[in-house]
Amino acid sequence: MIPLEIHHIGSLGPDVLLGALALGAAQVLLLSAGSEASEYTAALRHELDFTGPVLDALGYGAGRLAIVEASDPADLDTALWTRERFAGIAPATFNLSNDKRRTLDFVLDHLARHAPIKIDVISLPAHAPHGRIDVDRAACTLCMACVGACPANALADAQETPQLRFVERNCIQCGLCVKTCPEEAISMIPRLNLKAEAKSAVVLNEAQPFDCIRCSKPFGTRSMIDNMLKRLAGHSMFSSPGALRGLQMCADCRVLDMMESQDTASIADYPEA
């Protein structure tokens, strides 16, 4: 047994806990003497709810990581020497870094490479920091609101064509994309994908581009423009002939059309608004 003093057990995450196993430890036990607030212990148990299923699915055994609650040396001695023993894991040759996500990627790759059970995808509980998202293509209009909300660069658009791309290994399952989507077209799937494809961008949705009816420059998706026209067709401000034409033009042509057209609706025409 190698005692290791840390600032606080609540500061530990899966990068350090699994990292210790990857570096050769047979198991990692966290001593809680009862002097810390219960919220810290609860947060740590939250971390173990993620690491446990991963170790179990890989065949290492979920009991390699555990919290030991002992307020005096006698209780600690009993808790330590009555625990199940585990064999060590082939030690890694890399060091743990300050970049938690990158460290965790290295650690998971190492544990998967030496695992007794070879598995590509591991199901995780809802609060796990790994997973993918599912997009309802019929509802998604490729507005890209989710791309702007994603803090981990897991979602991205394509410059050359209307596409929504996703890198699963970057996703932290924060749920901001779900809350931001105006069409409620996104759902989260917590899981750990150990395949190489998880590090590459995949296309979740794509659509036919919509070309400006005046200059023919693509400026949106056909599904988004069609959806907008459908919603505004019965609105009083778009009842005049040709009023909906502006919605089918790019920003530059829309200004030119407003200068030339006498049918363009104006808020001044509706004083009651």
DSSP reduced 3-state for 139 = coil
The pLDDT of residue 269 is 55
Q: 3-state class of 217 per DSSP? A: coil
- Whole-angstrom distance, CA of residue 167 vs CA of residue 188: 14
Which domains does the chain show, CATH number per domain? 9-119 (no CATH), 131-206 (3.30.70.3270), 209-269 (no CATH)
CB 186 within 8 A of CB 178: yes
Q: pLDDT below 70 — which residues of the chain?
A: 241, 262-273
Q: Please, which residues bridge with residue 65 across strands?
A: 28
Inter-residue contact 2 to 92 (CB < 8 Å): no
